[in-house]
């Protein structure tokens, strides 16, 4: 993984920092594993805007990712590491011995021609292998973790993200998540060994506003410059601070906890995330 700083031959490239894409091995996706994406532009079925600051963007095709890793006991070979426009991480194309092909979220260090396996009984704890938490050794760095058995990976899926298995007791495993939260998860949930690829994603600098438009993000108006009718922080003469930070609907931001105290999953959280 590496990043490149471009020469300032245009204003848009002056501060641009791009991904080196060293790990990428092909620029053409597997045709059988792509699907069309229909953009909404932030509008609902009536054509009314329900989400602001969305619209435009380059046309994309969805890569169908195997988050469940439920093809147990069948070895697979990594055919290629590819770029995915729909996520920050890279993806890997797997060729299974029975002829099936699937995409997975690539782990850091995953190489072409490497053999990996998903095993419910517990495979070797090597990068890219998927197994239930009951088979993962303590202290192992893991990613793509299920919250409920058979649901598919929902935690630690973005570029550079990883969690750590810190304890196992009875039917629960204790995991330290990327946010810093320590949480109990059933040991029957699947996880993948290793951290997620493209850890340099956080170092990338877009360089110009147009690049945000290519990603489907429209310009965002700061609440402080709005009128009082539009936002609680709006109004005032000149550069007013805007009062206490809060959302458009008046809910305080920056430290105010909005999680329900009676939420059913609270009992699984050992330690809240760091502020």
254: helix, strand or coil: coil
Mean pLDDT of 110-132: 92
Evaluate if residue 122 carries a pLDDT over 90. no
- Beta-bridge partner residues of 145: 155
Q: What percent of the chain has pLDDT over 90?
A: 93
Contact 176, 163 (CB under 8 A): yes
- Specify the length of the chain in residues: 275
Q: What are 154-189's pLDDT values in tens digits?
A: 999 999 999 999 999 999 999 999 999 999 999 999
| pLDDT on residue 239 | 87
pTM, two decimals, is 0.93
| pLDDT on residue 230 | 94
| pLDDT on residue 196 | 98
Evaluate if residue 275 carries a pLDDT over 80. no
CB-based contacts of 45, cutoff 8 Å, min separation 6: none
| pLDDT on residue 250 | 94
Domains, in order of start, for the chain: 3-202 (2.40.50.140), 227-266 (4.10.950.10)
Q: Which element (helix H / strand E) includes 192?
A: strand 190-193
What tokens does 187 get?
Answer: 């040991």
DSSP state of 202: G
CA distance 214 to 210: 6
Evaluate if residue 201 carries a pLDDT over 70. yes
User: Quick one: pLDDT band at residue 120, thresholds 50, 70, 90?
Assistant: confident
Mean pLDDT of 69-88: 96
SS3 percent helix, strand, coil of the chain, rounded to 5, is 10, 30, 60
Q: What are 252-267's pLDDT values in tens digits?
A: 999 899 999 999 999 9
Mean pLDDT of 93-107: 97
CA distance 8 to 14: 4
Evaluate if residue 1 carries a pLDDT over 70. no
Q: What are 3-46's pLDDT values in tens digits?
A: 999 999 999 999 999 999 999 999 999 999 999 999 999 999 99
DSSP state of 36: E
């Amino acid at each position: 993984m590496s990043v490149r700083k471009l020469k300032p031959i245009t204003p848009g490239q002056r501060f641009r920092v791009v991904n080196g894409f060293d790990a990428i091995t092909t620029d053409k996706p597997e045709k059988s594993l792509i699907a069309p994406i229909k953009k909404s532009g932030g509008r609902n079925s009536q054509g009314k805007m329900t989400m602001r600051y969305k619209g435009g963007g380059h046309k994309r095709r969805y890569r169908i990712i195997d988050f469940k890793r439920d093809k147990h006991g069948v070895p697979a070979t990594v055919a290629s590491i590819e770029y995915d426009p729909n996520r920050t991480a890279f993806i890997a194309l797997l060729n299974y011995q029975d002829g099936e092909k699937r995409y997975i979220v690539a782990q850091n260090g995953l190489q072409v021609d490497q053999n990996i396996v998903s095993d419910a009984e517990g495979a070797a704890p090597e990068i890219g292998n998927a197994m239930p938490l009951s088979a993962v050794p303590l202290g192992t760095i893991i990613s793509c973790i299920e919250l409920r058995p058979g649901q598919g990976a929902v935690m630690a899926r973005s570029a550079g993200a990883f969690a750590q298995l810190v304890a196992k007791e009875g039917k629960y495993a204790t995991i330290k998540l990327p946010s810093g939260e320590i949480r109990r998860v059933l040991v029957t949930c699947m996880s993948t060994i290793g951290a997620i690829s493209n850890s340099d994603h956080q170092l990338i600098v877009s360089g110009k506003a147009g690049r945000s438009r290519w990603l489907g993000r429209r310009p965002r108006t700061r609440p402080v410059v709005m009128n009082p009718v539009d936002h609680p922080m709006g109004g005032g003469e000149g550069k007013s601070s805007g009062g206490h930070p809060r959302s458009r609907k008046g809910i305080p931001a920056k430290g105010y906890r909005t999680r329900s105290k009676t939420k059913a999953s609270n009992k699984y959280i050992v330690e809240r995330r760091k502020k």
